[in-house]
Chains A and B, each alone.
Chain A
Amino acid sequence: MNEVEPIVFLVDDNALFRRSTERLIRTAWLNVQAFSCARDFLNGPRQAGPSCLVLDVRMPGLSGMDLQREATRMGIDIPIIFMTGHGDIPMSVRAMKAGAAEFLTKPFCSSVLLNAIRAAIERDRASLQKKSEIKELRDRYETLTPREREVMALVAEGLLNKEVAGKLSTTEATIKFHRAHIMQKIRAKSIADLIRMSEKLGAANLL
Chain B
Amino acid sequence: MNLPNLIEKPLRLAVEHAGAQRGLLILLYNDGPYIEAEAKSRHGSVEILIRHERAKSMDPPQSALQFVLRTHERVLLDDASSRQSQSEDEYIRHNGPKSVLCLPILKQTEIIGALYLENNLASHAFTSDRAAVLDVLASQAAISLENAALLTDLQLQVGLLQHLPVSAWTLKPDGTPDFVNQVWLEFSGQTLDFVRSHPEAWMTAVHPEDREMAAKIFWEGVHSGQGFAIETRSLRAQDGTYRWHLQQAVVLRDSEGKVLKFVGTTTDIDDQKRNEEALRQAQAELAHVTRVATMGQLTASIAHEVNQPLGSVINNANACLNLLENGAPQLNEVRDALAEIIQGANQASAVISRVRGMVRKAPSERTGLNLRDIVTDVLSLARHDTAARRVAIRIELSDDMPPVKGDRVQLQQVLLNLVVNGMEAMNATEESKRTLTIWGRHETRDGESWCLLGVQDAGTGLQPEEMNQIFEAFYTTKPQGMGMGLAISRSIIEAHDGRLWAEPNQEGPGATFLFSLPEARNASL
Q: Using CB atoms and an 8 Å cutoff, list the residues of chain A in contact with chain B.
A: 14, 16-17, 19-21, 23-24, 26-28, 58-60, 83-86, 88, 105-111, 113
Does residue B5 face the partner (Cβ distance < 8 Å to A)? no
Cβ-defined contact, B318 with A16, below 8 A: no
B309 cross-chain contacts in A, Cβ below 8 A: 16-17
Per the 8 Å Cβ criterion, residues 359-381 of B in contact with A are none
Q: How far is the CB of B322 from chain A (nearest CB, A)?
A: 4
A19 cross-chain contacts in B, Cβ below 8 A: 312, 340
Bound together, the chains give a CA A146 to CA B312 distance in angstroms of 60
Bound together, the chains give a CA A17 to CA B316 distance in angstroms of 9
Cβ-defined contact, B308 with A17, below 8 A: yes
Report which residue of B300, B307, B311, B387 has the largest number of chain A beta carbons within 10 angstroms of its beta carbon: B311
Interface residue total, chain B, C-beta cutoff 8 A:
32
21 A-B residue pairs with Cβ-Cβ distance under 8 Å, sorted by A, are A14-B308, A16-B343, A16-B344, A17-B308, A19-B340, A21-B311, A21-B312, A23-B315, A26-B319, A27-B326, A58-B304, A58-B388, A85-B300, A86-B299, A86-B301, A86-B303, A106-B307, A106-B308, A106-B311, A107-B311, A107-B314
B347 cross-chain contacts in A, Cβ below 8 A: 16
Does residue B185 face the partner (Cβ distance < 8 Å to A)? no
Per the 8 Å Cβ criterion, residues 318-357 of B in contact with A are 318-319, 322-323, 326, 333, 336-337, 340, 343-344, 347
Q: How far is the CB of A75 from chain B (nearest CB, A)?
A: 26
Q: How far is the CB of B343 from chain A (nearest CB, A)?
A: 6
B307 cross-chain contacts in A, Cβ below 8 A: 85-86, 105-107
Bound together, the chains give a CA A86 to CA B318 distance in angstroms of 22
- List the A residue with the shortest CB-CB distance to B312: A20
B300 cross-chain contacts in A, Cβ below 8 A: 85-86, 88
Cβ-defined contact, B340 with A106, below 8 A: no
- List the B residue with the shortest CB-CB distance to A84: B304
Q: How far is the CB of B298 from chain A (nearest CB, A)?
A: 11
Does residue B252 face the partner (Cβ distance < 8 Å to A)? no
Cβ-defined contact, B316 with A20, below 8 A: yes
Report which residue of B322, B340, B384 has the largest number of chain A beta carbons within 10 angstroms of its beta carbon: B322
B314 cross-chain contacts in A, Cβ below 8 A: 107-110
Q: How far is the CB of B514 from chain A (nearest CB, A)?
A: 27
A17 cross-chain contacts in B, Cβ below 8 A: 308-309, 311-312, 315
Cβ-defined contact, A27 with B308, below 8 A: no
- List the A residue with the shortest CB-CB distance to B320: A27
A110 cross-chain contacts in B, Cβ below 8 A: 314-315, 317-319
Cβ-defined contact, A16 with B340, below 8 A: yes
Cβ-defined contact, B319 with A24, below 8 A: yes
Q: How far is the CB of B142 from chain A (nearest CB, A)?
A: 97
Bound together, the chains give a CA A60 to CA B304 distance in angstroms of 14
Cβ-defined contact, A23 with B343, below 8 A: no
Cβ-defined contact, B384 with A85, below 8 A: yes
Bound together, the chains give a CA A195 to CA B304 distance in angstroms of 54
Does residue B246 face the partner (Cβ distance < 8 Å to A)? no
Which of B303, B317, B319, B336 lies in contact with A85, CB distance below 8 A?
Answer: B303
Report which residue of B312, B326, B337 has the largest number of chain A beta carbons within 10 angstroms of its beta carbon: B312
Bound together, the chains give a CA A86 to CA B317 distance in angstroms of 22
Does residue B217 face the partner (Cβ distance < 8 Å to A)? no
Does residue B310 face the partner (Cβ distance < 8 Å to A)? yes
Q: How far is the CB of B487 from chain A (nearest CB, A)?
A: 30
> Is the contact region of chain B dominated by helix, strand, or loop, or is it mixed?
helix
B340 cross-chain contacts in A, Cβ below 8 A: 16, 19-20
Report which residue of B313, B315, B316, B333 has the largest number of chain A beta carbons within 10 angstroms of its beta carbon: B315
Bound together, the chains give a CA A60 to CA B390 distance in angstroms of 7
Per the 8 Å Cβ criterion, residues 14-69 of B in contact with A are none
Bound together, the chains give a CA A106 to CA B307 distance in angstroms of 6
List 7 additional contacts besides A20-B316, A23-B315; criterion CB under 8 Å. Answer: A21-B315, A24-B315, A24-B318, A27-B333, A85-B307, A107-B314, A110-B314
Cβ-defined contact, A20 with B384, below 8 A: no
Bound together, the chains give a CA A67 to CA B300 distance in angstroms of 21
B384 cross-chain contacts in A, Cβ below 8 A: 58, 85
Cβ-defined contact, A108 with B322, below 8 A: no
- List the B residue with the shortest CB-CB distance to A14: B308
A26 cross-chain contacts in B, Cβ below 8 A: 319
Which of A28, A84, A88, A113 lies in contact with B322, CB distance below 8 A?
Answer: A28
Q: How far is the CB of A145 from chain B (nearest CB, A)?
A: 56
Cβ-defined contact, B319 with A23, below 8 A: yes
A-contact bits for B275-318, CB 8 A (1 contact / 0 none): 00000000000000000000000011101110111111111111
- List the A residue with the shortest CB-CB distance to B316: A20
A27 cross-chain contacts in B, Cβ below 8 A: 319, 322-323, 326, 333
A111 cross-chain contacts in B, Cβ below 8 A: 318
Bound together, the chains give a CA A20 to CA B315 distance in angstroms of 5
Which of A21, A58, A86, A106 lies in contact with B310, CB distance below 8 A?
Answer: A106
List the 4 closest A-B pairs by CB distance, nearest first: A85-B304, A110-B318, A27-B322, A107-B311
- List the B residue with the shortest CB-CB distance to A59: B387
Cβ-defined contact, B308 with A23, below 8 A: no
Bound together, the chains give a CA A71 to CA B411 distance in angstroms of 44
A105 cross-chain contacts in B, Cβ below 8 A: 307
Bound together, the chains give a CA A193 to CA B344 distance in angstroms of 58
A14 cross-chain contacts in B, Cβ below 8 A: 308, 312
Given the known interface contacts A19-B312, A27-B319, A107-B314, the answer about A58 and B303 at a Cβ–Cβ threshold of 8 Å is no
Q: How far is the CB of B353 from chain A (nearest CB, A)?
A: 18
- List the A residue with the shortest CB-CB distance to B300: A86
A113 cross-chain contacts in B, Cβ below 8 A: 315
Q: How far is the CB of A63 from chain B (nearest CB, A)?
A: 8
- List the A residue with the shortest CB-CB distance to B347: A16
- List the B residue with the shortest CB-CB distance to A107: B311
Given the known interface contacts A16-B347, A108-B311, the answer about A23 and B337 at a Cβ–Cβ threshold of 8 Å is yes
Given the known interface contacts A59-B387, A107-B311, the answer about A20 and B337 at a Cβ–Cβ threshold of 8 Å is yes
Q: How far is the CB of B383 from chain A (nearest CB, A)?
A: 10
Cβ-defined contact, B333 with A23, below 8 A: yes
- List the B residue with the shortest CB-CB distance to A83: B311
Which of B312, B319, B326, B387 lies in contact with A58, CB distance below 8 A?
Answer: B387
Bound together, the chains give a CA A35 to CA B124 distance in angstroms of 136
Bound together, the chains give a CA A119 to CA B156 distance in angstroms of 101
B313 cross-chain contacts in A, Cβ below 8 A: 20, 107
Cβ-defined contact, B319 with A16, below 8 A: no
- List the A residue with the shortest CB-CB distance to B348: A107
B304 cross-chain contacts in A, Cβ below 8 A: 58, 84-86, 106
- List the A residue with the shortest CB-CB distance to B310: A107
Report which residue of B308, B310, B387 has the largest number of chain A beta carbons within 10 angstroms of its beta carbon: B308
Bound together, the chains give a CA A109 to CA B313 distance in angstroms of 11
